[in-house]
Amino acid sequence: METDPTTWLLVATGRLDWAEALRDGRLRASGIRTDLTEYLPLTPE
């Protein structure tokens, strides 16, 4: 997984959806274990 710090903070806090970040090219991920949606956001909702 590769992204810039701002995108990571947005995804980690739930302000940006993982799939949306991938679709927009703000996040690059490859492999079978790179979908972190079940672990995000890192903060309680």
* pTM (two decimals): 0.82
Give the pLDDT band of residue 18 (cuts 50, 70, 90).
very high
Classify residue 38 by burial, with Cβ atoms within 10 Å: 0-12, 13-18, 19+: exposed
C-alpha 3: how far from chain center: 8
- Round the average pLDDT of the chain to a whole number and report it: 91
